[in-house]
Structure 1
């Protein structure tokens, strides 16, 4: 009898721990960063199209591409750190 009550209590506690809810601040920050990255890449597309049609100066295109390159390097560095952390977790003994 006591074992089934303990099991039911443990199940209830575990269910609350893994239940989906509001995303935490870290998830929201990553989501915002992904949206900013997509917006930056969209600006590059617009600048490239504008440069091809003659609506944007070449200097502005080069500046936009340089900003996008810096953004891409940042995203790649973050991705590398995430992959490194994941591989470290996989190496942990259970």
Structure 2
């Protein structure tokens, strides 16, 4: 059996350092809700992929696979809904008279 060796989440994994720091010394990206959401989304997708591969290869618990895939589906639906709202807001800005 051939192994699939691609990672669709590398674009989400790359971060750029920021110059802004808080008084406590933490980077501003640590408290960014968007960065946290992307991180949670990436983690859910990776967990679903890992659980699915374990179930297919070694016959692990199929209920865990279904739960992980359901969680990934919910995360994907939320991400698509947020993306649609952002695009809709951008289109509204384009329609505004200057």
Name which of 63, 72, 83 aligns with 2:87: 83
Q: When you count helix as a share of all residues, which structure comes out higher?
A: 1
CA–CA distance in structure 2, aligned partners of residues 90 and 51 of structure 1: 47
Gaps of 5+ in 1: 1-19
> Would you say how many aligned residue pairs link Structure 1 and Structure 2?
74
What CA RMSD, in Å, does the superposition of the two structures yield over aligned residues? 2.2
**TM-score when scaled to structure 1?**
0.69
Name which of 29, 53, 60 aligns with 1:56: 60
**TM-score when scaled to structure 2?**
0.67
Gaps of 5+ in 2: 1-17, 22-27
Radius of gyration: which is bigger?
1
Matches within 5 A, 1:8-19: none
> Secondary structure of the residue that 1:81 maps to in structure 2?
helix
Change (3 A) 1:34 1:60: same
